[in-house]
Amino acid sequence: MTATHCPYCSLQCGIELETRAGAVTALTGLESFPTNRGGLCRKGSTALELLAHPERLTSPLLRVGDELVPVDWDTALDRVAAEIRRVQERYGPDAVGCFGGGGLTNEKAYQFGKFARVALRSASIDYNGRFCMSSAAAAATRSFGIDRGLPFPLPDIAEADVLLLVGSNPADTMPPAMRWFEAGRERGAEHIVVDPRYTATAAAAHRHLQPVPGTDLALANGLLHIAIADGLVDEEYVRTRTTGFDEVRRAVRADWPDRVERTTGVPVAALRATVHALASAGQAMILTARGAEQHADGTDTVTAWINLALALGLQGRPGSGWATVTGQGNGQGGREHGQKADQLPGYRKLADPAARAHVAGVWGVDPDSLPQPGVSAYELLDSLGTDVKMLLLGASNPVVSAPNAAHVRRRMESLDFLVVTDFFLSESARMADVVFPTTQFAEEEGTLTNLEGRVLRRRKAVEPPAGVRSELEIWHALAARLGRGEFFPTEPREVYDELRRASAGGPADYAGISWERLDAGEELFWPCPSDDHPGTPRLFAELFAHPDGKARFMAVTPRGVTERTDVTYPFLLTTGRSRAHYQSGTQTRRSPTLAAAEPEALAEVHPDLARLLGLTDGDLVRLTTRRASAEVRIRCTRTIRRDTVFVPFHWPGVNDLTSARLDPTSRMPEFKACAVAVSRVPAPLSTPQEVPA
């Protein structure tokens, strides 16, 4: 039996793999792992369906005319290296870009960022985590001085007497985590869910607030207004542990309850009951997720919820505080070690001379040789074919997952050369000039960091198929052809030890989290600066990460949904995840079990809206936004607002509809709210039957 972790979401549930004759024959939940305690969702429990899948890539592919044909590794690597040299000689180093994925191990994420800056000397790198949790990361960093998804272990959720969950549906997206929510309710906790949909999570809660999509900031400010007016603020906490509250107090004066009700659709009585419940609880939590964050004002929206938590004195108290529910498998580790355009390992800033000097010293290069920060993920994709002529795409599928995806597809078509590493031929990989086949979770060693900041060991159970290589081997081989191979080891443990040195002294300090300690079963959360340090499962008990040790209140004001409805586009479209599928669906849409459970995207509409439009359940409709149209079937349900349409984004075409307006701080696109029209797709005329003579 091999103890490792699920290849899907940021829970990184513990699993055990049973092998026989060189193949994995069974997958079970690991009872001893504290996050899931043996529980698994349907995605994790079916992960073995992908290891020996008939569509698994087992050879490099090279485009010859309109076809991708199998070639040997040297041919593919030589061609890619030649194209890198050609493009950079003609257009400069930044003309070759890198776009990574949030599922890469810490070692791969670290090495990809290093490859861009040392082998390519390019500023053009970012990753798909920018589309997932960047607004929460930006808000936490400016409020607390540091970002870690959950600043406490997941089981602490069970200790909260009142829990407010904003824009998250873990009952569908992270079912194993629900054991901690259920444990809280069993001991008498009150749970409140904020979501435009009456989700499975909302159904289990005591109260559901159903705001208009894009109005969460106004809602949070309205709750803080009530807290101030009703004398619920923890003035001692605010005075001793925070700064900036007076400005926030002035800013929310305009958010009086009646006005917030008109903006959000949430009744004043529900607003008052919610904030009084939070303020009167012995322990209270506010958890936000993508529903609050994937907006053009997502950073400010999360900041408003943090302001509420600080005003009530929650942050840093046991069983209390604000946190974000990070989504992608290694979304936390992926953003800590250098895939983001502005970051170096350890959550250091690329523009900081001291950070550049430290990391360059570990890498053995001149700090001045490192590029300055580049542009964010969508801006990088938008520059394809113009500023960026060649792209190395690692374990990501942006032609499905990016906002305004039809535009991204056109930009990718305009590239001189596209290289993709993946284990399936995703929609993006089908556009490539070279595709490199890579290892899956059961075939590799490494580390990951889950939503709690807990560093985990991924362990190899079986050998990969012949012809498949790790990204560490691929980047080393390319770097060697570019004359920089000595900087890129291929053994995960060696890369991880280098990562630890590079992170030492940074905000995300892994220096004391050794491979040996992880293999010995120690539960280690960063920061952990030395070999004898126990790690930090709970942050902010005494100090925040700003130099003065205090949290920062930040005054934020609602700007509203940036794309307004009108007579042509009269409804609001919002997107999200479903229970059976994950991210762009590259893996889950290939799982026979999961594809059978949810074979297509279904648009949720309220029965009243369906009647207004003359539609019935199962009708094929055309959703049209100011960017594109997509055809989907509808599912009539009373769980959605009458003015809102919800579609899961795991299928091609859905994100063609969404808006690429960006948050000015995090550069997060506004996935969660845009104007949409709904119309029936006429049934095709039946072919007339020939009448016999």
Residue 560 pLDDT > 80, yes or no?
Answer: no
- Write the Ramachandran bin of 65: left for phi over 0, alpha for psi from -120 to 50, otherwise beta: left
Question: In sequence order, what DSSP letters do the residues of 486-527 get, joined into one string?
Answer: GG----HHHHHHHHHHHHTTSSS--TT--HHHHHTT---BS-
* Residue at 181 is within a domain: yes
Q: What is the largest CA-CA distance in the chain?
A: 95
Q: Using a pLDDT cut of 90, give the percent of the chain over it.
A: 95
Does one domain contain both 177 and 303?
yes
Q: Provide the residue type at 595 as one letter.
A: A
CATH of the domain at 23: 3.30.200.210
Closest CA to 322 of 297, 351, 301: 301
Mean pLDDT throughout 613-632? 97
- Tell me, yes or no, whether 263 and 318 share the same domain: yes
For residues 452-467, give the mean pLDDT: 97
pLDDT at residue 680, rounded to an integer? 95
The pLDDT, as a whole number, for residue 689 is: 52
Residue 295's contacts (CB-CB under 8 Å, 6 or more residues apart) are 135, 214, 216, 301, 561, 663, 668, 670, 672, 673
* Residue 445: HSE in the Cβ half-sphere, 13 Å Cα cutoff: 11
CATH number for position 85: 3.40.50.740
| Residue 326 scores a pLDDT above 90 | no
Instruction: Tell whether 351 is covered by a domain.
Output: yes
Give me the pLDDT at residue 692, please.
46
pLDDT at 685: 62
Q: What is the per-residue pLDDT for 356?
A: 98
pLDDT in tens, 9-55: 999 999 999 999 999 999 999 999 999 999 999 999 999 999 999 99
Q: What's the pLDDT score for residue 523?
A: 95
Query: The tokens of 342 are what?
Result: 């502005």
pLDDT digits (tens, 9 = 90+) for 53-81: 999 999 999 999 999 999 999 999 999 99
In this predicted structure, the answer to whether residue 258 has a pLDDT above a threshold of 80 is: yes
Report which of 106, 119, 517, 531 is spatially closest to residue 336, judged by C-alpha positions: 106
Boundary of a domain, candidates 271, 305, 324: 324
| Domain endpoint, select from 307, 324, 341 | 324
Distance CA 547, CA 526 (A): 19
Verify that 317 and 345 share a domain, yes or no. no
d(CA 621, CA 605): 11
Residues 418 and 391 in one domain: yes
Residues 498 and 606 grouped into a single domain: no
Q: Are residues 10 and 90 in the same domain?
A: no
Same domain, 673 and 610: yes
Give me the mean pLDDT over the 172-185 stretch.
Answer: 96
Q: What is the pLDDT of residue 335?
A: 85
- Helix H or strand E encompassing 421: strand 417-422
pLDDT at residue 268 tops 60: yes
Per the structure, how many domains does the chain have?
A: 4
Angstrom distance (rounded) from CA 480 to CA 270: 62
Cα–Cα distance between 162 and 320 in angstroms, integer?
Answer: 9
Domain of residue 8, residue span:
2-50
Using the predicted structure, report yes or no on whether residue 171 has a pLDDT greater than 50: yes
pLDDT single digits (tens) 491-516:
999 999 999 999 999 999 999 999 99
Kindly state whether residue 295 falls inside one of the protein's structural domains.
yes
691 domain residue, yes or no: no
The pLDDT of residue 579: 93
pLDDT interval class at 679 (50, 70, 90): very high
What does the block give as tokens for 268?
């004043």
> Which CATH number goes with the domain that contains 249?
3.40.228.10
Radius of gyration of the chain (CA): 25
Residue 653 and residue 340: Cα distance in Å, rounded?
Answer: 26
For residues 173 and 299, state if they share a domain: yes
Rounded Cα gap, residues 578 and 650, in angstroms:
8
Confidence of residue 307 (pLDDT cuts 50, 70, 90): very high
Phi-psi region of 171 (alpha: psi -120 to 50; beta: other; left: phi over 0): alpha
Query: Is residue 207 a part of any domain in this protein?
Result: yes
Tokens of 371: 């590029």
Which whole number is the average pLDDT over 362-387?
Answer: 98
Tell me the per-residue pLDDT of 481-490, one tens digit each, with 9 for 90 and over.
Answer: 999 999 999 9
691 pLDDT above the threshold of 50: no
Is the predicted pLDDT of residue 339 greater than 90, yes or no?
Answer: yes
Q: How many helices (H) and strands (E) does the chain have?
A: 24, 27
Residues 318, 335, single domain; the answer is no
| Per-residue pLDDT at 132 | 87
pLDDT at 686: 57
Clarify whether residues 306 and 382 are in a common domain. no
Note whether residue 238 is domain-resident.
yes
364, 366, 372, 377: CA torsion to nearest 10: -20
Same domain as 441, residue 302: no
Window from 222-226, 617-621, 686-690 with minimum mean pLDDT: 686-690
Dihedral-angle region of residue 571 (phi above 0 means left; psi in -120 to 50 means alpha; beta otherwise): beta
544 belongs to a structural domain? no
Residue 641's domain is classified under what CATH number?
Answer: 2.40.40.20
Give the pLDDT score at 334. Answer: 85
Name the domain boundary from 10, 30, 50: 50
The per-residue DSSP string of 113-164 comes to: HHIIIIIS----EEEGGGGTTHHHHHHHHHHHS---S-SS-GGGGGG-SEEE
State how far the Cα of 34 lies from the Cα of 311, in Å rounded to an integer.
31
Buried b (16+ CB within 10 A) or exposed e, 282-309: ebbbbbbbbbbbbbbbbbbbbbbbbbbb
According to DSSP, the β-strands at 242-243 and 620-624 are unpaired
Mean pLDDT, rounded, for 115-124: 98
Give the Cα separation of 527 and 114 in Å (integer).
Answer: 22
pTM for this entry: 0.95
522 vs 321: CA distance, rounded Å: 26
Q: Is residue 189 part of a domain?
A: yes
Which residues make beta-bridge pairs with 5?
Answer: 14
- From CA 164, how far away is CA 195, in angstroms rounded? 11
| Average pLDDT of the residues of the chain | 96
State whether 357 and 503 are in the same domain: yes
Q: Is the pLDDT reported for residue 348 higher than 60?
A: yes
Residue 688 pLDDT > 80? no
